[in-house]
């Protein structure tokens, strides 16, 4: 009887190890292990007000944290209003977590929501220290931010650069002018250009003028989850060898 139990335990342990090796091989196949071991700063910069820069930041943060299991922080380059607004919304819905055991969140007066640590640049100006604690840091720069000009320099130094614009007629010219200025600082091969609005003819014209491919940001209603149809898009935006582009 004792020998039978011992054999069963050895069999279960052997099976567990075999499953672990198979799972690890699968992770290697899709590049998950290398992604989890890498460190990267992702910069998002808006070309106009209300183009969805913060919305996309939260989409990326949710994908990295809750799909891939990568420790991620978001730094909002604003006057603190976005973090304050998120605090109010999360408190009202009773789903905010102000980490008591997270030294970084306490130190820089940030918040933790859905596993993502979110900070205001005002209370975390030396945000690069976060790269010592987090595998991925996303910086969220909007046109309305009080230090937009200075933030552009931070954006240029990021490992992954994503420009968020709009093809809405009354925003398009403003987006194009800002894109031109940023493009002089960053080569086109290093840029991804994205947007929540899309016009096929305008996208074609902009590609001919500036050599960038522009595609639309997929819609995500609930930022606490990642729609299965958006997984590939988000993964390519972050990890593709060549930067892809998405709607101005």
Q: Where are the domains of the chain?
A: 1-30, 39-239
pTM of the model: 0.77
pLDDT at 49: 86
Closest of 114, 42, 99 to residue 75, by C-alpha = 42
Residue 76 has, within 13 A of its CA and on its CB side, a CA count of 27
Q: What stretches in the chain show pLDDT beneath 70? A: 1-9, 11-12, 15-16, 18-37, 79-82, 88-109, 144-146, 187-189, 241-248
Model confidence pLDDT, tens digit, residues 86-121: 776 665 554 444 454 566 666 666 788 888 888 888
Phi, psi angle pair for 45, to nearest 5°: -130, 130
Please report the beta strands in 22-180, taking only residues with DSSP state E, as ranges in sequence order.
40-46, 72-76, 111-113, 116-120, 136-141, 160-165
Query: What class has domain 39-239?
Result: alpha beta
Model confidence pLDDT, tens digit, residues 168-194: 889 999 999 989 888 888 865 678 899
pLDDT at 244: 39
């Amino acid at each position: 009887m004792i020998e039978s139990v011992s054999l069963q335990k050895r069999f279960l342990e052997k099976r567990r190890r075999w499953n672990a090796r198979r799972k690890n091989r699968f992770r290697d196949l899709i590049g998950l292990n290398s992604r989890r071991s890498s460190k990267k700063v992702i910069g998002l910069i808006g070309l106009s007000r209300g183009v969805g820069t913060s919305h996309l930041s939260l989409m990326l943060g949710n994908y990295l944290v809750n799909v891939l299991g990568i420790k991620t922080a978001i730094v909002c380059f604003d006057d603190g209003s976005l973090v304050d607004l998120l605090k109010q919304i999360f408190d009202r819905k009773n789903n905010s977590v102000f980490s008591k055991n997270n030294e970084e969140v306490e130190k820089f007066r940030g918040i933790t929501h859905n596993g993502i640590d979110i900070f205001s640049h005002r209370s975390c100006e030396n945000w690069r220290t976060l790269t010592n604690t987090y595998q991925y840091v996303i910086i969220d720069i909007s046109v309305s931010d009080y230090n937009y000009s200075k933030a552009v320099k931070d954006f240029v130094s990021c490992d992954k650069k994503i420009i968020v614009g709009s093809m809405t007629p009354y925003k398009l010219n403003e987006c194009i002018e800002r894109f031109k200025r940023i493009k002089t600082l960053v080569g086109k091969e290093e840029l991804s250009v994205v947007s929540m609005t899309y016009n096929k003819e305008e996208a074609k014209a902009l590609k001919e003028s500036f050599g960038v491919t522009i595609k639309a940001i997929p819609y995500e209603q609930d930022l606490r989850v990642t729609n299965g149809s958006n997984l590939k898009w988000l993964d390519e935006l972050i990890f593709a060898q060549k930067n892809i582009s998405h709607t101005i």
